[in-house]
């Protein structure tokens, strides 16, 4: 294994699966964040190091593309590596490998470093040890792109951010955005199709106690754009492609 790349094994237990016995998208997203955290901590640019410098990593965008979903009582290996880095953003890639050694999906994520006090971006290129770990491994899916705000929307649902939604910063947990987004789709869609690609742009923090609306626009066949808003303020955008 290259020292620039981390490989971590996860078991798909029953509580991580849906009614079909397949891992859910939020659960797989949780594995991505765990792998990213472990990889960064092991190479000394993770949570502990950043906190000592009054900084924090913030997830800005992510794309997950899967050809199939791992099933209950199987294991997967999750590969992760830093593919690009500049002053404002770091790109981290992932590859899902099933227990037969087949690659069943990939993900790309974009991260910013912020000052914990001012909440403003800091220069990532200052993190010399991270720059040295940039990998040449190629990820076969496109980089996480900006999702434009939607028009011709229809209201689908709203929810209030509660205890089980929030993270250590008392804001809406990164995977909870995904969970609330995919819950707008009826069960019948999951019986007939799979989410092939899920793209998300994190724009603002969902605050504890606030009520957030979810709007949907069907841009084309098998593709929807979702927007999470607090009054007139956009909190998050997602694009879902089914197959």
What confidence tens digit (pLDDT) does each residue in 104-135 have? 999 999 999 999 999 899 999 998 778 889 99
Residue 1 has pLDDT above 80, yes or no: no
pLDDT score for 151: 80
pLDDT score for 3: 84
Same structural domain for residues 112 and 163?
A: no
What is the distance between the alpha carbons of residues 2 and 166, in angstroms, rounded to a whole number?
35
pTM: 0.94
Q: What is the 3-state secondary structure (H, E, C) of the chain?
A: CCCCEEEEEEECCHHHECCCCEECHHHHHHHHHHHHHHHHHHCCCCHHHHHHCCEEEEEEEEEEEECCCCECCCEEEEEEEEEEECCCCEEEEEEEEECCCCEEEEEEEEEEEEECCCCCECCHHHCHHHHCCCCCCCCCCCCCCCCCCCCCCEEEEEEECCHHHECCCCEECHHHHHHHHHCCCCHHHHHHCCEEEEEEEECCCCECCCEEEEEEEEEECCEEEEEEEECCEEEEEEEEEEC
Same structural domain for residues 162 and 120?
A: no
183 vs 169, more confident = 183
Same structural domain for residues 15 and 92?
A: yes
- The answer as to whether 149 is a domain residue is no
Could you tell me the two tokens for 10?
């996860």
Residue 95 has pLDDT above 50, yes or no: yes
Same structural domain for residues 115 and 176?
A: no
- The answer as to whether 100 is a domain residue is yes
CATH code of residue 207 = 3.10.129.10
Same structural domain for residues 20 and 118?
A: yes
pLDDT score for 218: 82
What confidence tens digit (pLDDT) does each residue in 170-209 have? 899 999 999 999 999 999 999 999 999 999 999 999 999 9
Q: Report residue 81's pLDDT band, with 50, 70 and 90 as the boundaries.
A: very high
Domain count, the chain: 2
Same structural domain for residues 17 and 53?
A: yes
pLDDT score for 154: 87
Same structural domain for residues 95 and 9?
A: yes
What domain range includes position 223? 154-242
């Amino acid at each position: 294994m290259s020292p620039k790349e981390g490989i971590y094994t996860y078991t798909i237990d029953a509580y991580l699966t849906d009614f079909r016995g397949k891992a859910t998208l939020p659960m797989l997203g949780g594995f991505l964040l765990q792998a990213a955290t472990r990889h960064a901590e092991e190479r000394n640019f993770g949570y502990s190091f950043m906190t000592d410098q009054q900084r924090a990593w913030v997830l800005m965008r992510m794309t997950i593309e899967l050809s199939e979903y791992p099933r209950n009582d199987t294991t997967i290996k999750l590969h992760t590596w830093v593919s690009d880095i500049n002053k404002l953003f770091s790109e981290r890639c992932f590859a899902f490998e099933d227990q037969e050694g087949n690659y069943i999906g990939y993900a790309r994520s974009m991260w910013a470093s912020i000052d914990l006090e001012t909440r403003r971006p800091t220069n990532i290129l200052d993190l010399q040890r991270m720059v040295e770990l940039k990998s040449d491994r190629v990820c076969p899916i496109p980089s996480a792109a900006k999702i434009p705000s939607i028009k011709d929307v229809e209201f689908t649902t709203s929810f209030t951010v509660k205890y089980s939604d929030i993270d250590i910063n008392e804001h809406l947990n990164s995977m909870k955005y995904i969970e609330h987004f995919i819950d707008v789709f009826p069960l019948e869609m999951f019986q007939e199709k799979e989410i092939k690609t899920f793209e998300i742009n994190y724009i603002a923090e969902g605050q504890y106690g606030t009520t957030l609306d979810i709007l949907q626009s069907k841009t084309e066949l098998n593709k929807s754009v979702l927007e999470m808003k607090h009054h007139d303020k956009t909190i998050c955008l997602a694009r879902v492609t089914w197959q």
